[in-house]
């Protein structure tokens, strides 16, 4: 019996002249949840990729699992046999296949003679793992039909398929990132059940609150160095952890200038029809940041797309710049022209063309406005690019860097800059700080404040209470079937409570019926 489950020392990685990881150590004890944190680009994903054999380490590294030395560079098959498993951030599930198939991928139970998959035995294997995890899921369910936390559970079941209960170490590489907040608790309970058996978990997360509440110990990386090794989370708070990650203290991002409550109204959303909700009407004043939140999945997330013309509501009007725009039959181009800019949630899918360079991405929304039909000059494109890189502290060599070469936080800054460059009247943001590190988050929220000070109206749609209280003047909490609740608060817990305290289907069907008619 060893006292460590996984022990890595002297881990270094140099890409030509750039050393991205120096003499790092990671020591994981049996049955603990060990968090690995650090800003984007600090080396934590390099560390994980060395452990999983994707990168080969520099000389001088040693790696042992349960006291048994592994040869380097890591052979993934050997690591897997020693009990190491990984759940990646996108979970790697195929929605069209069953739970059993998803769990079995890469190691189906099959006949040794005909190589035919023995589905009955496979289902049994799947059932056994699911029972171990106490997941109320049948092997024959389609993964696509499952709620988010169960999907994450299936990914974990796959990772633990071949490990004996109570052994092994599972690496969760930002696996909780896609989970809505209300499912997070269930997922955490699941991880706790896993470690209760003695299996260890290494958890990578940007969510410091999650790190502190779930993990036992934490290893902190900054610029390729381990700056905190195996610290007990009980002795830490969020500020201390953030200080370690950044090397300097981060204060809450507080607005220096509050919005003028009598400022001119720049945009008015009138009677916007949201499925299941009362029609939404709200006014956004010059220099004001309005928050909009609610229970994930109830439909308030649609608002950014409905008010920017990306999708059409069944009813609703936008009054902006002295014009009334019928949202039922408007378009992105028309609303852009009126002064609406929208930063969508999924930056890689909907926000940026990652195969193209920073300059082209930044210039895109202005090409028609600033260019002539037969000629788009490069001068203003260059100006926008240098301005943006400077203003948002984007870490890029130049505007010619492809967006996919940047880290997540820097991509998000490019996306912000792209829409700020059109100088909108109303800036609509959807989950603007999703999956970015603390440093980038602070930069992004300060940018929101600056935009407001310059006179834009901002509508911030988010499920992140901390973002809402730090950025917004007023916050609206939407619940299906109820009028929106307006709050002014600096306390994130108060927002959380407003979102979660009232059970969603509060009014009786009869009452809602009467209400609507």
Partner 1 sequence: MSDTSTTATAQPTTPSPQQPPAKNGAPVWLHQLASRYALIAVWALMALYFYVQVPDTFGTHGTFSSIFGSQQVLVFLAMSALITLAVGEFDLSVASVMGLTATTIPVLAGVHGMNIWLACLIGVGAAILAGAVNAFFVVVMDVSSFVVTLGTGTLLAGIAQAISGTNIVSVNSPALASFATQDVLGMPISFYYGIALALFLAYVLAWTPIGRSMVFVGSNREVARLAGIRVQRIRFGAYIAGGLLAGLAGLLLVATVGGFDSASSASYLLPALAAVFLGTAVVQPGAFNPIGTIVAIYFLTTGIFGLQLLGYQGWIQNAFYGAGLVAAVTLAKVVRDRSKKG
Binding positions for partner 1, rule: CB under 8 A = 15-18, 20, 40-41, 43, 45-46, 49, 54-55, 223, 308, 310, 331-333, 336-337, 342, 344, 349-356, 360, 363-365, 367-368, 371, 373-376, 395-397, 401-402, 404-407, 410
- Among residues 192 and 346, whose Cβ is nearest to partner 1? 346
At closest approach, how far in Å is the CB of 357 from partner 1? 10
In contact, 287 and 480? CB cutoff 8 Å? no
At closest approach, how far in Å is the CB of 367 from partner 1? 5
Beta-carbon contacts of 258 under 8 Å, excluding residues fewer than 6 positions away, are 473
Q: Which tokens is 255 given?
A: 């607005």
- Secondary element (H or E) of residue 382: helix 379-391
Cα within 13 Å of Cα(414), Cβ side:
32
Rounded to the nearest 5°, which phi and psi values hold at 47? -60, -45
- Among residues 299 and 371, whose Cβ is nearest to partner 1? 371
- Among residues 285 and 359, whose Cβ is nearest to partner 1? 359
At closest approach, how far in Å is the CB of 396 from partner 1? 6
- Among residues 251 and 355, whose Cβ is nearest to partner 1? 355
CB atoms within 10 A of CB 400: 11
Residue whose structure tokens are 């993990």: 215
- Among residues 442 and 468, whose Cβ is nearest to partner 1? 442
- Among residues 360 and 423, whose Cβ is nearest to partner 1? 360
- Among residues 205 and 363, whose Cβ is nearest to partner 1? 363
Q: Which tokens is 370 given?
A: 């600033």
At closest approach, how far in Å is the CB of 364 from partner 1? 5
Can you name the residues that pair with 357 across neighbouring β-strands?
402
Beta-carbon contacts of 432 under 8 Å, excluding residues fewer than 6 positions away, are 343, 412, 416, 444, 448, 460, 462, 467
Which one, of 242, 262, 259, lies nearest residue 250 by Cα?
242
Buried-state track 264-273, b at ≥16 Cβ within 10 A, e below 16 = eebbbbbebe
At closest approach, how far in Å is the CB of 175 from partner 1? 17
Which one, of 373, 375, 356, 369, lies nearest residue 422 by Cα?
369
- Among residues 313 and 351, whose Cβ is nearest to partner 1? 351
- Among residues 139 and 432, whose Cβ is nearest to partner 1? 432
HEC string of 113-158 equals CCCCECHHHHHHHHHHHHHHCCCCCCCCCEHHHCCHHHHHHHHHHH
At closest approach, how far in Å is the CB of 251 from partner 1? 24
At closest approach, how far in Å is the CB of 368 from partner 1? 5
Beta-carbon contacts of 510 under 8 Å, excluding residues fewer than 6 positions away, are none
CB atoms within 10 A of CB 197: 16
At closest approach, how far in Å is the CB of 16 from partner 1? 3
- Among residues 139 and 309, whose Cβ is nearest to partner 1? 309
At closest approach, how far in Å is the CB of 353 from partner 1? 4
- Among residues 40 and 205, whose Cβ is nearest to partner 1? 40
Q: Cα separation of 5 and 477, whole Å?
A: 45
Which one, of 253, 233, 181, lies nearest residue 440 by Cα?
253
At closest approach, how far in Å is the CB of 511 from partner 1? 38
Q: Cα separation of 405 and 202, whole Å?
A: 26
Which one, of 131, 137, 164, lies nearest residue 152 by Cα?
137
Q: Which tokens is 235 given?
A: 């002795």
CB atoms within 10 A of CB 37: 26
At closest approach, how far in Å is the CB of 394 from partner 1? 9
Can you name the residues that pair with 341 across neighbouring β-strands?
427
At closest approach, how far in Å is the CB of 20 from partner 1? 4
Beta-carbon contacts of 215 under 8 Å, excluding residues fewer than 6 positions away, are 32, 33, 34, 35, 203, 233
What dihedral do alpha carbons 435, 409, 52, 108 form, nearest 10°? 40
At closest approach, how far in Å is the CB of 399 from partner 1? 13
- Secondary element (H or E) of residue 324: strand 323-326
């Amino acid at each position: 019996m060893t006292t460590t489950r996984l022990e890595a020392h002297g881990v270094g990685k140099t890409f030509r002249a750039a050393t991205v990881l120096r003499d790092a150590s990671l020591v994981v004890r049996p049955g603990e949840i060990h968090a690995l944190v650090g800003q984007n680009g600090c080396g934590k994903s390099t560390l994980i990729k060395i452990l999983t054999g994707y990168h080969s380490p520099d000389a001088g590294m040693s790696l042992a699992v349960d006291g048994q030395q592994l040869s380097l560079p890591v052979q993934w098959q050997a690591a897997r046999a020693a009990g190491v498993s990984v759940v990646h951030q996108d979970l790697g599930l195929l929605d069209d296949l069953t739970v059993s198939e998803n769990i079995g991928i890469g190691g189906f139970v099959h006949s040794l003679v005909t190589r035919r998959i023995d589905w009955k035995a496979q289902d049994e294997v799947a059932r056994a793992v699911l029972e171990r995890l106490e997941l109320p899921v049948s092997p024959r369910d389609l993964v696509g039909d499952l709620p988010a936390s169960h999907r994450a559970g299936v990914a974990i079941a796959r990772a633990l398929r071949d490990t004996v209960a109570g052994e092994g170490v599972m690496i969760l590489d930002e696996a909780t990132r896609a989970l809505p907040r209300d499912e997070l608790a269930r997922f955490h309970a699941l991880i706790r059940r896993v470690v209760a058996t003695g299996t260890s978990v290494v958890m990578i997360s940007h969510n410091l609150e999650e790190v502190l509440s779930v993990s036992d110990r934490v290893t902190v990386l900054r610029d390729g160095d381990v700056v905190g090794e195996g610290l007990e989370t009980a002795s830490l708070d969020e500020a201390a952890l953030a200080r370690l990650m950044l090397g300097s203290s981060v204060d809450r991002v507080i607005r220096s200038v509050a919005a003028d409550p009598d400022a001119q109204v720049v945009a008015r959303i009138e009677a916007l029809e949201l499925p299941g909700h009362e029609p939404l009407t709200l006014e956004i004043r010059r220099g004001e940041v309005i928050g909009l939140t609610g229970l994930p999945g109830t439909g308030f997330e649609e608002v950014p797309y409905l008010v920017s013309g990306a999708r059409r509501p069944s009813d609703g009007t936008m009054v902006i710049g002295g014009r009334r725009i019928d949202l039922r039959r408007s378009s992105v181009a028309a609303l852009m022209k009126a002064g609406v800019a929208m930063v969508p949630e999924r930056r890689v899918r909907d926000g940026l063309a990652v195969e193209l360079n920073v300059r082209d991405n930044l210039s895109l929304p202005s090409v028609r406005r600033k260019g002539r039909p037969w000629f788009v000059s490069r001068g203003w494109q260059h100006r926008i690019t240098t301005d943006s890189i400077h203003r948002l502290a984007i870490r890029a060599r130049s505007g010619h860097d492809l967006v996919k070469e940047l880290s997540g936080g820097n991509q998000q800054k490019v996306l912000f800059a792209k829409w700020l460059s059109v100088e909108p009247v109303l800036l609509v943001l959807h989950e603007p700080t999703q999956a970015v590190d603390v440093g980038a988050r602070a930069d992004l929220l300060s940018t929101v404040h600056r935009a407001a000070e310059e006179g834009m109206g901002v509508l911030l749609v988010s499920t992140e209470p901390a973002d809402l209280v730090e950025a917004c003047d007023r916050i609206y909490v939407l619940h299906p079937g109820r009028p929106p609740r307006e709050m002014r608060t600096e306390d994130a817990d108060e927002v959380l409570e407003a979102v979660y305290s009232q059970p969603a289907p509060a009014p009786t069907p009869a009452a809602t019926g009467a209400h609507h008619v």
